[in-house]
Structure 1
Amino acid sequence: MERTPAAPLDLAAAERFWAEYATAHPAAADADPDHAVDRFGDSAELSDELVGLVVNGTKRATADLVDEFRARDEPLPRVGSHWVACDGAGKPTVILRSTELRIGTIASADAAFARDEGEDDGSLESWLTGHRRYWERTCSARGHSFTDDHEIVFERFQIVWPPELADTELGSAGHLSRQAAE
């Protein structure tokens, strides 16, 4: 797979995108005003592929090394936190809200989480193979080696913005509820 460096994040566009969400859902935005702006993956192609899986509904989970958050000087996500997910060109695409988090090692990954990540064939075996390869590459880029003892943040999320892609609906108090299937 070709690996083109991802473009810088368009922080001004991400803040406008966040402002649209905050205007539409002030209680939810006020609950987490310090949202993150980030992307999936380590290349433009991988970022586009993974945010595409989010948009089409296949991907509702992600995993990253605790060390990666530290290297970027970012706090770990928390349940209820938001992040503006950008594509490989740095353009904001969706706003995600963390719904479940846990920290574990690669040995603690399970089939349900692999399925929720929505990558490859959705199996635990392909998840383990792909993520080991990814973390070996990203650790190496930072001058480190990936080991099975690394702590991993396992995160499930919902799309909350833009409205046409949202998994959830925000009530008047800013609480999230599942949309009724039509």
Structure 2
Amino acid sequence: MTEPSVDLDAANAMWDAYVATGAVPAGTAPVAFDVFGDGPALADELLGLVLEGRKRGTATLEAEVTHVGEIAPAVGDHWVMCDGSGVPRCILRTTAVDAVPFDDVGEDFARSEGEGDGSLATWRAGHRAYWERMSVRTGVPFGGDSIVLAERFTVVWPPEVADA
């Protein structure tokens, strides 16, 4: 599977429209133009949960962030989230990040991800399958002691989907 190519012109236009509101200082840049998951169908499914208001959390393995040379998420970060075709659909702002071993992720965080039935068991099964799949592709090891960056966010743009 390959990640979709982000429509950078449209993503930058969305970001510029957000900056023009004065919500962030001129010259500020988002930390990423991104998609959820590891393929177009999963990206669309997870973005759909965001747009429905069910998903306000996401998880990344700390080792994945290090492996690809990214900076770990931080409170206040903004990122443009795209659909499975790479079209920007909303801007998210990180509100909390906790580094937790996979086996210690709690029910409250699992619910914040909005996936499946919202239970911790479903969260663990889905994320274990995802990270095991990613481990094969990236070589980043995964296990119960793997550190998860449990990130919470709010939707800030565009106004028709932004959180109140």
Letter of the structure 2 residue corresponding to residue 129 of structure 1: A
Give runs of aligned pairs for residues 140-159 of structure 1, distance below 5 A: 140-159=136-155
Q: 1:51 aligns with which of 47, 65, 70?
A: 47
RMSD: 1.6
Q: 2:16 aligns with which of 3, 15, 19?
A: 19
* TM-score for the superposition, normalised by structure 2: 0.93
1:85·1:92 contact (CA, 8 Å) conserved in 2? yes
- Using the alignment, how far apart are the partners of 1:10 and 1:141 within structure 2? 24
Verify: 1:119 aligned to 2:120, yes or no: no
- Using the alignment, how far apart are the partners of 2:161 and 2:76 within structure 1? 18
- 3-state DSSP of counterpart to 2:64: helix
- Using the alignment, how far apart are the partners of 1:164 and 1:151 within structure 2? 35
Kindly tell me the number of residue pairs found equivalent between the two proteins: 164
Letter of the structure 2 residue corresponding to residue 20 of structure 1: A
Between 1:43-52 and 1:102-111, the stretch displaced more is 102-111
- Using the alignment, how far apart are the partners of 1:149 and 1:140 within structure 2? 18
Gaps of 5+ in 2: none
**Distance apart, 1:152 and its partner CA:** 1.0
Structure label with greater radius of gyration: 1
Identity in percent: 44
Give runs of aligned pairs for residues 133-172 of structure 1, distance below 5 A: 133-167=129-163
2:155·2:162 contact (CA, 8 Å) conserved in 1? yes
**Distance apart, 1:31 and its partner CA:** 9.0
- 3-state DSSP of counterpart to 2:55: coil
* TM-score for the superposition, normalised by structure 1: 0.84
Gaps of 5+ in 1: 168-178
Runs of 4+ in 1 over 4 A off after TM superposition: 29-32
Letter of the structure 2 residue corresponding to residue 60 of structure 1: R
Aligned to 1:98: 94
Aligned to 2:32: 36
- Using the alignment, how far apart are the partners of 2:158 and 2:127 within structure 1? 29
Verify: 1:63 aligned to 2:63, yes or no: no
